[in-house]
Amino acid sequence: MNKLGGISESSEMRQFAEDYRHHRNGAEESSPKLLGTEAATMLKTSPKSVTNLSATDFLIASKCSEINSLEYFLEMGQLIVMVSDLIHALQKERGASNLYLGSKGQHFAEQLIEYIVATNLRVTEFHAVLKSINPHVSAHAGNSRLLNRIAYALHALASLPQFRAQVRQLSIQSDDVITVYSETISGLLSIVFETADAAVDPTIARILVALFNLMHGKELAGRERAVGVAGFSTRQFSAEQRGQLQFLIEGQDRCFELFREFADPASGLLWEQYTHSFNVAEIERLRRVAMSDRPQMIEPQLYEQWFKLLTQHIDNLKTVELGLQMHLQQLCLQRVSDAKKMLTQQQDLIDTLSTHAEDTFVVLLSHSQIPNLNVSYPQDYYQAEGIGPKLGRSVFELVQNQAHSLQQMHDELTAARTAIEEKKLQEKAKVLLMKNRKLTEDQAHKLLRQMAMDQGKRLSEIARTIVDMAHIWR
């Protein structure tokens, strides 16, 4: 008995092999035995009997997709508000912890306990919001980095109790306190950054970029407060502390510049009011004292004055932040409402015009509508069967309008995305320099700035070059 691939070749198998060879040799008509009765029947069926998806189906789907994305960011707005409140609580706790350590446990014990209780409440609320939005965040495409940032933040928050015990026992240095709180807050800030990076609506993206830079600038102000308290409480600033202050001040300037560029007018106006207040002028005076290398200029009570001034400054920034958050929420609600109204109008128009359908319509396209269109040839037209000319023209206009709107959104989004990408590049470059040159964060940033000045290039261009050369250090 002959074998075919190790299987006995029955008459049925021979027929199957013959049909298969016939199919591979490019037969005009496939064997019904190979395709099956149902498939063969479908081949004989007229194309008109199969219901196809139309342009209107995808036009509506496009608008529904936009609505889903906007509703997602409406939910993410809740998370951003909680992140903002939690960061503010941690910043207060960090400041009180430094004052407690600076006084050797003699002062600020009650305030520290009060701030810890407030932070724990915010952590509980943060967990509650995460639980409520987790199904949507986990299911949203492209959220791997965001979920990773959330995991890091939760891990850092879980380690706070052990760290607080060290503060109570005075068994930790002030610099280590600043590091622990700052790393926890940086993890939370990265959640806002990843949310901004994922935004597809330009107006929402701009506000998220403004909000992130305001929050980041406020965090740098909080770190400046902590470094200042450490120096003023001992009545002297080391060269390292002065370098940290310089780095933090320059960082705030960069963040607030981007905030003003992307913020809404009301938030920008509120910011300007605060920058011309007495507090800001007095902070500048104390900064000059701190940056001086003459310890005799530092009076004993200055650390309390510094703490109060910076705390008021941070609270003022929080007020601007709250206004920006409210604007973001209102903007998301308005964009969702507008998109739903547009969807309803499109559906109504399509339903109305489809009642007057005719057999065929032809839409002529101009050179401005489609590139490389050759009007000298009769095939340069769009023809559809079963849709009337009124509906055809209206659908085409809707498609054009929606395409124009999407292109405009893309152009506006590019500016916000550029700011985000440049921030990513600079952070990656700093990490590479810190790791391979054994530099601190402020030293790495200074080196980047110096290289940019020496070469007459933008900071982002230097950062790009360093990131592109990363393989050399491996």
Calculate mean pLDDT across residues 412-440.
Answer: 74
Q: Return the domain boundaries, the chain.
A: 3-40, 59-338, 356-473
Task: Give per-residue pLDDT as tens, 350-361.
Answer: 777 666 544 444
pTM of the model: 0.69
pLDDT per position as a tens digit, 27-75:
444 444 444 444 444 444 445 555 677 777 787 787 788 788 888 888 8
Report domain 356-473's class.
mainly alpha
Residue ranges with strand state E in 1-105: 3-4, 7-8
The average confidence (pLDDT) of the chain is: 77
Residue 7's beta-bridge partner residues?
4
Residue 224 CA: distances (Å) to CA of 110, 124, 201: 23, 28, 34
Q: What is the pLDDT of residue 165?
A: 94
Q: What pLDDT was estimated at residue 224?
A: 93
Between 65-74, 268-277, 327-336, the lowest mean confidence (pLDDT) is in 65-74
Mean pLDDT (whole number) for 145-154: 92
Q: Read off the pLDDT of residues 279-314 as tens digits, 9 standing for 90 and up.
A: 888 999 999 989 887 766 788 788 889 989 999 999
CB 362 within 8 A of CB 90: no
